[in-house]
């Protein structure tokens, strides 16, 4: 894979014309791009190239995109943008539940795809180790809610001392809530903070990813210890449900 200051992208797409189009647009945006057309080869390609972003089609020969994603998530937390040929809510939910960061439905604008990849790369930057409170005082980048510890600088989460493995998106969502304990953040606010301003996807992304976070924390959504749902609004970290 060619090196590039913009980042490394692995495109897994079995339609040659579409793969070439996506690759050309990404290269023009200064990304290093590798293209794979077979699901069986995709998992090994992720291991070999360690991409920053994986653009992954669902309908692939060998292994479908869902199985590729399932295997990739056992060893990589790279950003994943899934491509689906159908505007099918089930496909979207399955992909997100397996750890995809977002989806694009065919046909799509190559410029939009590049914009989403660029947004993902901006999110890959580490969060600051400290920020300023409204009163001007610093807040340390380690946040504790009971026995849950969210370390922004190290991008680590520990529960009762044991590490919790989260994807970049899952960590960013949890950290966004942890930075503002007991404060309700709407789905729209979380979407903007994690996916970036102007993101065009629906707010259902937030629900699916936080459901994954809750499962990894062993959290019961009906009786949560950490992430509380505020019906009709959004979510809050800590405090009374």
pLDDT tens across 116-174, in order?
A: 899 888 875 444 444 444 444 434 588 988 899 999 888 899 999 999 998 888 999 99
Domains 8-123 and 130-237 share a fold: no
CA–CA distances in Å: residue 165 to residues 43, 44, 57, 214: 20, 21, 25, 12
For domain 130-237, the CATH class is mainly alpha
What's residue 195's pLDDT? 79
CA–CA dist 174, 190 (Å, integer): 10
**DSSP tag of 126:** P
Residue spans of the domains in the chain: they are 8-123, 130-237
Contacts of residue 175, Cβ cutoff 8 Å, sequence gap at least 6: 127, 143, 150, 152
What's residue 239's pLDDT? 62
Q: What is the pLDDT of residues 82-121, one digit of tens each?
A: 998 766 677 778 888 888 988 888 889 999 999 989 988 8
CATH of 8-123, one of 3.40.50.2300, 3.20.20.150, 3.40.960.10, 3.40.50.10680: 3.40.50.2300
| pTM attached to this predicted model | 0.70
CB 65 within 8 A of CB 43: no
Contacts of residue 112, Cβ cutoff 8 Å, sequence gap at least 6: 104, 200
Contacts of residue 3, Cβ cutoff 8 Å, sequence gap at least 6: 32
Q: What is the pLDDT of residues 177-194, one digit of tens each?
A: 999 888 999 998 898 888
Residue with tokens 């490394």: 8
């Amino acid at each position: 894979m060619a090196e590039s200051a913009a980042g490394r992208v692995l495109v897994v797409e079995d339609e040659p014309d579409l793969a070439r189009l996506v690759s050309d647009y990404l290269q023009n945006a200064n990304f290093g791009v590798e293209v794979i057309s077979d699901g069986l080869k995709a998992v090994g390609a992720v291991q070999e190239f360690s991409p920053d972003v994986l653009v992954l089609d669902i309908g692939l020969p060998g292994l479908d995109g869902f199985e590729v994603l399932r295997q990739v998530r056992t060893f990589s937390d790279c950003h994943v943008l899934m491509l689906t040929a159908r505007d099918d809510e089930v496909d979207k939910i399955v992909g997100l539940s397996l750890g995809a960061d977002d989806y694009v439905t065919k046909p799509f604008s190559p410029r939009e795809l590049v914009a989403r990849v660029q947004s993902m790369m901006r999110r890959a930057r580490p969060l600051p180790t400290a920020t300023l409170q409204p009163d001007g005082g610093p807040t340390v980048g380690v946040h504790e809610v009971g026995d849950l510890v969210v370390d922004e600088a190290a991008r680590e989460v520990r529960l009762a001392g044991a590490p919790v493995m989260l994807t970049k998106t899952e960590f960013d969502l949890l950290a966004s809530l942890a930075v503002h304990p007991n404060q309700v953040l709407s789905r729209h606010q979380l979407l903007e903070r994690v996916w970036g301003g102007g993101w065009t996807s629906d707010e259902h992304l937030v629900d699916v990813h936080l459901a994954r976070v809750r499962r990894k924390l062993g959290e019961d959504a009906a009786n949560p210890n950490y992430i509380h749902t505020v019906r009709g609004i959004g979510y809050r970290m800590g405090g009374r449900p």
